[in-house]
Structures are given as C-alpha cells and as structure tokens.
Structure 1
Amino acid sequence: MRSATGPGLLFVLVCAMGAGPMMNYGISATSTLIMADLGISEAQFGLLAATCFAGAALSSMSLGRLSDRISSRTQLLIIFGGTALALGLMAVSGNYLWLLAAVLLSGPAQAISNPTTNRIISHDVEPGKRPGWMGIKQSGVQASQLFSSLFFPAAALIAGWRGAAVGAALVLGLLLAYAWHRLPAEPRRRTTTAAAPTNRRFPAPVWLLAAFALFSGAGMQATNVYLPLFAQREIGFTLLMGGATAAAAGVVGVASRVLWGRRMAAGVRASTLLLLLAAGAVCGAVLLLVAGQSGAQGWLWAGVVFHGASALGVNVVVMAGVLREVPKERVGAASGAVSLGMYTGFALGPLAMGVLLEASGGFLAGWLCIGAAYLVCAGIGLAYRVRDGRARSAVARGSGGKVPGK
C-alpha cells in the first residue's frame, strides 16, 4: 500500500462519488423553475437526465480502462473539474439546447467516479476493510442528493437556478483543492504491463452485476429525477418540500449504503443482499404508486424511505461484488463494465418516465414500469445466486474447507 488510510482519504472518496451527480440532483430539485423558465415539457425534462447518463454510459468502458493507467489526481481533476465546468455551462445556458450540452458534459465525470474510487480502495485499503469503505464512499452519492436537494432550491430562491449552479461549482472547486493535497502520492505506472490484462474477458458474474445495475439504475434514477415533481404535482408540496423528499431519500440512502457495506464486510453474500434490495425496491414503487392515487402524504414518505433503503443501496453491493470477482489490476476496467449497465439504466429510466408522464398525464404508468424493472432485478439476483452457489460448491469440493461469503 502506498500509505496509511484514514478519515481524510475516505472523505475524498465520498466527495469524489458525490461530485458527479450533483448537477443532476440540482436540476431535479429545481425542476419546476427550469421547466417554467425554459418552457420545456416533461419529456424534454426527462431527456436532460437521459443525455447526461447516455454520455456516462458511452464513456464508462474507456474511462474504466483508463483509470487503471493514469494517476488518481488526474482522475479527480476529471471528476471535480468536469462537473464544475458543466455547472458553469448550466449557469450561462440561455436555452434548452445549451442545458443539454451542459448535462452531456457532466456524464464522463460521473462515469469515472466508480472506477477511480474502487481502484483507490483496492490498492490502499486492507481487504477486510474494503466492503465497509465501499459502503461509506458509495454513500457520497446520497450525500450529494441530500446536499443538492437542500442547497439548490434554497439558493434558487435567492439567486435563481443559474445562481445555484454557480454556487455548487464553487463548492466543487474547494473540494478539488482539498482532495488534490490529501490524496497520497503513488508510484508511476508502467503502461506496458497495465495494458496486457484488459483484453481478457470478464467473468460471467461481472455481467450479471452489470445487468442488475442496468434495471435497478433505470428505476432508481427515474424516481430520483421525478420525485420532487411528483410530490409537488400529485401531493401538493411546495418547491422546498418537494426538494425535501429527495433530501430525505438521500439521508436514508446514506445510512443504507453504510449498512449494506457493513453486512458484506460481515460475510453476507452479495446475492442475498441483492434479492433483499430488489424486494424492497418493488415495495417502494408500490407505495409511491399508492401515494399518487390517494394523494396521502404518509404513503409518499413511506415510499421515500423504502426507495432510499433499497434502490439507493444497490450500488454499494454491486461494486463491492466487483472487487470480489476480479483482481485489483482489473478493478477499474470491470467497474467500467458494470458502470456501463448502470448509466445505461440511468439514461433510459428518466427518459421513459418523462415520455409516459407526458403521454398519460399522470405518474401511474411510470410507477408500474419502475416496479416491473425491479422485478427483473429479482430474477437477475436469483440467477446470480445460483451461479454463486455453484462456484462456492466447486471451491468447497476442491479445498475441502469453508468458502467465504460472496
């Protein structure tokens, strides 16, 4: 290991995970203001998130491989600097097309965040502590959701949604300065040796994790993007209260990701956790559907809690699973493959939700589709568990001993 790990490095990892999605969460939290100012429809609003995540999906494989070769500081510059630049473009965007360009620019910054942070953990953190660190650093995404859902509406009331974007960009600049000085020095990599393993195929479990990330990502991001708008239109919440629903989901999501990371560190199999998360996500979608049909705030808040505890906890289990499936020299590339599935889902979910909302005039069809996506996740989780069980049995027969949890 290059240096001793500590709270400072863990904070950098949390911030690196939270920087990329900050713009999307901010756009979601100020959705009504942006839609009214630019005169865009629900489907056009959904296309914003879809464009961002399409950019992330298209760049995830190449950036995943690149993360195994370039320095961690360079990667942090892509994450923090890229997102700050996108927020700056958002602030000066005078029309919908400019805003589309801004969200597209933020895509690669999100795409490289998992490979970067996973690679740092695989190189710098003791194996027994890695799942716990994964849970905490993945909670950075929900910490960003919490921050953005509170910061953007409040700042927008003072300086407009463009002023809020400028303020968020300044915050990212400060975080980049801290991360740049806090990250430990690393030895120069030899690209000739690093390039060799990238041509090897990934094991089948990596692709199962990618498939799970795809369908869960579609449901999760569609909910994240439209939750504040849903709360305002269907339940009658104000702008600030609509943002508070996303913030509450973020709070629960932070706790859930830490919890699921600790459960993996304790030896619980990833397949077991994925099945539990799929079941909880289905419950969350059903509760939000009921909230929309009844107009009751209680069902809404219950759905928010289930969404935060289940759908928002998937990523830590999936990414911790990647660390167990591949050697550390391939963590970046494998993380990029799983991120491809995740960001493809992130792109498709909000786009589909926006189209369904505009076509039907309500959220019912959207919640039904989200629930169906989570049911597919349950099927993938079962397939992963079957393959996991076979692999464990084969290892146990060969070693004559116990096989650790997966």
Structure 2
Amino acid sequence: MTPPSVPARQPGRPGDVLLLTVLLAAMAAGPLFNYGVASSSALVIERLGVTSGQLGTVLTVVFGAAAVTSVWLGRLADSLSSRAQMGIIFGGAALALVVGAFSTTLFALYAAAALAGVTQAISNPTTNRIIREVAPPERRIGWIGVKQSGVQLAQLFGGLFFPAAALALGWTGAALGAALVAGVLGVVAWATVPPLPAGSSAAAAHIRHDDGAPRAAEGPAGAGAPTTGRPGGRERLPASVWFFAAIAFLTGLGMQAVNAYLPLFAVETLDQSLVVGGAAAAVSGVIGVFSRIWWGRRMAAGHRPTTLLAAICAGSLLVVAALLAADVSHAPALLWAAAVLHGLTVLGANVVINAGIMDGVPAGQLGDASGTNAMGMYAGFACGPLVMGLLRDHTGDFRLGLLAVGGAYLLGLGVTWLLRRRVDRGRSGV
C-alpha cells in the first residue's frame, strides 16, 4: 500500500520558520568544508606542505565526488525517510570536518573532501522533497529561494569564523569547532523535520509535465502504474530535466571558476591586496543571498524559468565583459562591478532550475530529477576551477579562462532557448 503523503502546511503555521531555517542549514552544512579550506588556505598550505595549485584540487575532489554520486543519492532521497537524510547531511558534514581537522597529507584532505562532496550531493534532493511534501503550493518557490541561500550563508560563516578560529586554535581547532556546529544543527534538524516515511513522495495526487499538463501520480506497482520504459520499473525522467541539468553544468562551470579565482585575479591582475580580493568575493556571496530569494520570488510571481535563465546567462556575460575590461584597462572599479553582477545573476541560477524541476516532474521522481540536476551542477563546479587554473598556468593571465567562462554562458543561453522551444511546442501540441 502506498504510504500517505504529508499534508501541506497552512500558511503561517507555527514551526514554518524553524523548518525553513533547518532546510537553509542543510544546504549550508556541506559547503562549510569548502569555505573553511579556502578561507584558511595559508594555514592549510603550511600544514600540508603543498602549493596553492595543489590545494585548489581539493575543490575538484569535492565537486567530483558530488557529481559522481548525485544521481544515486537523488534516487535514495526518494526512498529514505527525511530524518535519515538529515542524518546523512549533518553527520557527513561533521565527519568531513573532523577528518579534515586531523589531515596531515593532501590525500587525507582529499578523503575529507570526498565526504563533503557526498554530503552536498544529497542536500538538494532532500530539501526539495521536504518542501514538495509540506509547503503550500503557493509558497514552495519562495521556500526554494530561501533554502538555496544556505550556500552563500556558509560562505559568509566560513569567511568570518574560520580565519578567527584558526588564528586562535589552529586549523584543527577551527575545523573541530565547525564540526561541532554541524552536529548541533543536525540534532535540531532531526527534531524539526516532519518524519516523512520512506517513499512517501510517490503518493502525491497531481503533478505537472514539463509542457504544463496535469498528470496523475504513480500508483503502486500492478495497480495501474504507468509504463516506465526504464529498467527496475522507474519511469523515464521528463526531457526538461536533462535540459535543466545541462544549463546547471554550464552556469556552474562559470560560477565556480569566478568564485575560485576572483581573489587571485584581483591580486595578480589588478595589484590589489588579498584582503581586497577576499572582500570582492564576500560581496558576491552576500548579494547572492538576497539574489537567490529575489529570483525565487520572480518564479513565484509566474515568470517562466526559461525567461529568467536567459536573463541570468545574459547578465553573466556582462560579468565576463567587466573582468576582461578590468584586465585590459587595469581598472579596479570594474572588479567591484563584476562582483556585484556575479552575485545578482549566476548565483541565482540554481534557484530557478530547482523551481523549474519541482514544477515539471512527478513527486515520486523528484529526488531522481534533483540528483540528475545536481550531477550536472557539480560536474560544472568541478570543471570550472580546473579549466580556469589550467588556462591561467598555460597563458600566464586570466583572459583565455574568462573567454572560456563566457563561452559556457553563451552555450547556457543556447540550451535555454532550446528548452523554451521544446516547452512551447508541447503547449501548442506540435
């Protein structure tokens, strides 16, 4: 018998703020490791005896692990209880920080990075599923915008906590302190999230195709369940999921390349201090918190995801243009313009993509679809810094790398246009 789904919460119901805070924390838990290593890089480099380039490969391991495991973990999110998934997220984040705290070699830090990547890979499917089950339909997209801001809050926390704690307690003490924070948040999350049973999302009543047509949810096997066409009885994902995953890959590549190298660009190309370079990155992160909420509200107001994604890709091209102009003219003011535009545009892409997926797939496939999208996003995250770093080492400057980022955004604009054409054909019956 199919487990009953949890009724949607009524607007203003007590506990909504706490639950939304927990979902935001779930998105922030995994990236604590990334931002901790980045903000304490000088101490970590000295501790491990590695170069800055070698330390940069730690992020490649994080996002590579996330990309490889995203689809499997997304499917797992459709079958595990919500509390079990919160245990994986916060327990995995704490374990990654503990392993990182005691790492004395680069390969040991790689192990911690892989754990952090797995934690980040399941966070989107888990939080998407909970929102789909408990949030009123008219508030779901707004909730997505808020919870996606958790990544930027992790960036803010990491930038403030780790340097101060590392100076006082060393890298080990700082990482263990962050692990304790993750553990405490995990206890709160376990007590707060609704105890959604394993597989409960399969019982949702009516879903929407990527063409906007209503669709009956799957019933139990043998009781009128639809023909799947996929091994193991799983129904094929809507084509829109793969378009969204491609857009997530391309925007993620550009986003993470700029995130990783903006401070170094400021120092090497514009002769700014490391503090100024870090401040520029922080400005992007802070603006990104509000940007993600704003893009989520645009979706909630009825704007089509393809319209918003086209605007995001076009705005991201302006970021590339500003950085190239800053390089050519040696104009530090353009660095700040690029940082602001970066926060306003591409940092909001994943909110729109997640909202589009939530509206376009059956509830029982939401974890699978979210995992597929996360695979694309994390693959882009892994490739972006790698491509930028290789081109920087090969040419001696950032210009070719920035052109590659611009090419990724142009391709993202093209894929968005193809998705819009496909959706329009579906609505017109063509």
TM-score, structure 1 normalization? 0.91
Matches of 1:188 and 1:57 in 2, distance apart? 24
Q: Which residue of 1 aligns with 2:412?
A: 377
The alignment status of 1:143 with 2:178, answered yes or no, reads no
Matches of 1:309 and 1:388 in 2, distance apart? 26
Does the Cα contact within 8 Å between 2:82 and 2:194 map onto a contact in 1?
A: no
Structure 2: 5+ residue stretches without partners: 1-5, 203-218
Per-residue deviation, residues 70-106 of structure 1 (Å, max 9, x unmatched): 1111111111111111111111111211111211111
Structure 1: 5+ residue stretches without partners: 396-406
The alignment status of 1:133 with 2:168, answered yes or no, reads no
Deviates more, 1:135-144 or 1:314-323: 135-144
Cα distance, 1:239 vs structure 2: 4.5
The structure-2 alpha-carbon separation of the partners of 1:243 and 1:339, relative to structure 1 and needing over 3 Å to count, comes to same
Cα distance, 1:254 vs structure 2: 0.8
Q: Which residue of 2 aligns with 1:357?
A: 392
Per-residue deviation, residues 296-340 of structure 1 (Å, max 9, x unmatched): 331111111111111110000000010111011111111011111
Cα distance, 1:26 vs structure 2: 2.2
The structure-2 alpha-carbon separation of the partners of 1:319 and 1:100, relative to structure 1 and needing over 3 Å to count, comes to same
- 1:29 is aligned, of 33, 39, 42, to 39
Per-residue deviation, residues 354-393 of structure 1 (Å, max 9, x unmatched): 2222223322222221111111111111111111222232
Cα distance, 1:177 vs structure 2: 1.6
Deviates more, 1:240-249 or 1:327-336: 240-249
Per-residue deviation, residues 206-247 of structure 1 (Å, max 9, x unmatched): 100000001111111122222233334334444544332222
Does the Cα contact within 8 Å between 2:322 and 2:335 map onto a contact in 1?
A: yes
Per-residue deviation, residues 21-69 of structure 1 (Å, max 9, x unmatched): 1211222223344345434345423321111111111111110000011
Matches of 1:309 and 1:376 in 2, distance apart? 20
| Structure 1 residues 79-90: aligned runs within 5 Å | 79-90=89-100
Per-residue deviation, residues 124-178 of structure 1 (Å, max 9, x unmatched): 1111111111111111111111221222233333333343222221221121121
- 2:281 is aligned, of 246, 249, 259, to 246
| Structure 1 residues 239-318: aligned runs within 5 Å | 239-318=274-353
The alignment status of 1:152 with 2:162, answered yes or no, reads yes
- 2:124 is aligned, of 110, 114, 135, to 114
Letter in 2 for 1:211: A
Q: Which residue of 2 aligns with 1:391?
A: 426
| Structure 1 residues 218-237: aligned runs within 5 Å | 218-237=253-272
TM-score, structure 2 normalization? 0.86
Q: Which residue of 2 aligns with 1:20?
A: 30
Does the Cα contact within 8 Å between 1:253 and 1:312 map onto a contact in 2?
A: yes
Does the Cα contact within 8 Å between 1:153 and 1:239 map onto a contact in 2?
A: no
Provide the aligned C-alpha RMSD in A: 2.3
Give the share of equivalent positions with the same residue, in percent. 50
Does the Cα contact within 8 Å between 1:87 and 1:166 map onto a contact in 2?
A: yes
Matches of 2:261 and 2:41 in 1, distance apart? 8
Letter in 2 for 1:297: P
Deviates more, 1:19-28 or 1:200-209: 19-28
Determine which structure has the larger helix proportion and give its number.
1
Matches of 2:91 and 2:132 in 1, distance apart? 24
Q: Which residue of 1 aligns with 2:70?
A: 60
Q: How many residues align?
A: 395
Q: Which residue of 2 aligns with 1:321?
A: 356
